[in-house]
Structure 1
Amino acid sequence: MEVESLRNKNDKSPMENPQSTSDAARVLRNRRKWKNICFVIIGVLVFIVVLFVILAFTVFKAKRPVTTIDDVSLRDLKVSVDLARFQVLLNATLDVDISIKNPNKVGFKFKDSNTQLNYRGQQVGEVPIPAGKISADKTVPMNLTLTVMADRLISDSKFFSDVTSGELPLSSKTEIPGKVSVLNMFRISVVSSSSCDFTVFLSNSSVGDQNCKYKTKF
């Protein structure tokens, strides 16, 4: 009888142990709760990533900064011809006004660069452009002063004939490398360049026949 009594105690159904049933139900509820929380977190993260991608390719899509040469003027010009020595002495200073436009919705940081002055493909002048930053949708004007390196002009065989004709063909070139940061996640390298061909008329110390080209590459 005692053995049968012990067997009956051990064979009680789960329903006769409410504490065990309550613990199992609590564990199940906690698992479901954490699953729901994980699904919500994953859903929010996916939404944020999709939103960032949409903004990166629409509102914050990287656009091309444009460097424009607005004006080239002659500040100072002194020319003298030594026919006996078949030599030309020249002192010239040019004012070059450029502007850098940033059409992006974020800032554009550019590195140290320069503007070069060329005569028939040979560099005869240079002025540095210090590094800086242009805010979103802003245009920054710059006034540069270029001094012609006369010693480099004299060595060119065509220089004497150009001076005697009264027209000096020159060109300027500006190349500005920088980066556009999209949503502080993507950094896109950009190089904005501009070049202008123009003529310095020695008879009246003026600049004319300007032809400029602009280019931007990622």
Structure 2
Amino acid sequence: MLAAEAPKSNADTETQSPNGDGRKRNRKICICVTLLILLLLIFKVLLVLSLTLFKPKNPTATVDSVVVDHLRTSVDVLNLKANLNLTLQAHLALKNPNRVGFSFGSTSALLSYKGQLVGEAPLPANRVGPQKTLHMNVKLTLMADRLLSESQVFSDVMSGSIPVNAFVKVAGRVSVFNVFKIKVKSSASCDVTISVSSRNVTSQHCKYSSKL
């Protein structure tokens, strides 16, 4: 009897083994599906937060003030020529209204005269913390060798006022949870009029723009 029952036991083992493997495979599939659902839920929550509480807002670059740091002029009336040496001190502010940090790359502040670039100052890459404002002082020096039209300089010096433009553009990105990264740009352009006699700024008109 014992010898007859032994083959039956082996047959039962062979028939039960595939079922055991099937149960393990089903268990793995259930675990994978559950993890996938959890990941999708987490992604959905992050997406909702990024579109509501952490919705990106435009950082704003402003020029709070422009002052004359140095101004020297000389006039050659016979030849209708004028030499101009000018250095401006500009105070910039970059405000980040977002609940996450804003990082921007290196750029330059530009000084123009009659639409012609006559000076620039580098601005290194930096980061503005959540809902913080970064203050920067920039020195813009006019490079006399870039002034192509001496007659215009002569006319402005003789009239007693020198018009220049200070411009800065900042480009960077806001990163939400290190997953959603949105590019943003902000710029400030200021038309400044400088008095030759008093050596100070008599008017300043600025335009600002920003976009995601």
- Where on the TM-score scale, by shorter chain, does this alignment land: which range? 0.7 to 0.9
- The answer to whether structure 1 residue 153 and structure 2 residue 147 are counterparts is yes
- The answer to whether structure 1 residue 96 and structure 2 residue 90 are counterparts is yes
CA shift, 1:152, in A, is 2.8
Matches within 5 A, 1:37-76: 37=31, 40-76=34-70
Tell me if structure 2 keeps the 8 A contact 1:87–1:154: no
Give the Cα–Cα distance (whole angstroms) in 2 for the partners of residues 157 and 83 of structure 1.
11
1:201 corresponding residue in structure 2 = 195
Q: Give the alignment's TM-score, normalised by structure 1.
A: 0.81
CA shift, 1:63, in A, is 1.2
Give the Cα–Cα distance (whole angstroms) in 1 for the partners of residues 22 and 143 of structure 2.
85
Change (3 A) 1:35 1:86: closer
| Structure 1: 5+ residue stretches without partners | 1-18
Give the SS at the match of 2:68.
strand
1:166 corresponding residue in structure 2 = 160
Residue type matched to 1:198 in 2?
V
Give the Cα–Cα distance (whole angstroms) in 2 for the partners of residues 133 and 86 of structure 1.
48
1:113 corresponding residue in structure 2 = 107
Count of aligned pairs:
205
User: What do you get for the CA RMSD once the two structures are aligned?
Assistant: 2.8
Of the candidates 185, 190, 210, which is equivalent to residue 204 of structure 2?
Answer: 210
Residue type matched to 2:154 in 1?
F
Give the SS at the match of 1:184.
coil
Give the Cα–Cα distance (whole angstroms) in 2 for the partners of residues 145 and 28 of structure 1.
74
1:143 corresponding residue in structure 2 = 137
Tell me if structure 2 keeps the 8 A contact 1:88–1:154: no
Highest Rg: 1 or 2? 1
Tell me if structure 1 keeps the 8 A contact 2:81–2:151: no
Q: Give the alignment's TM-score, normalised by structure 2.
A: 0.83
CA shift, 1:151, in A, is 2.9
CA shift, 1:162, in A, is 1.0
Change (3 A) 1:198 1:28: same
Give the Cα–Cα distance (whole angstroms) in 2 for the partners of residues 30 and 118 of structure 1.
74
Range moving further from structure 2, 117-126 or 25-34: 25-34
Tell me if structure 2 keeps the 8 A contact 1:169–1:200: yes
CA shift, 1:84, in A, is 2.2
Change (3 A) 1:34 1:169: same
Give the SS at the match of 1:55.
helix
- Identity percentage over the alignment? 41
Give the SS at the match of 2:147.
helix
2:9 corresponding residue in structure 1 = none
Change (3 A) 1:167 1:23: same
Residue type matched to 1:190 in 2?
V
1:181 corresponding residue in structure 2 = 175
Residue type matched to 2:91 in 1?
D
Give the Cα–Cα distance (whole angstroms) in 2 for the partners of residues 126 and 34 of structure 1.
63
Give the Cα–Cα distance (whole angstroms) in 2 for the partners of residues 75 and 188 of structure 1.
38
Give the SS at the match of 2:130.
coil
Residue type matched to 2:200 in 1?
S
Give the SS at the match of 2:69.
strand
CA shift, 1:209, in A, is 1.8
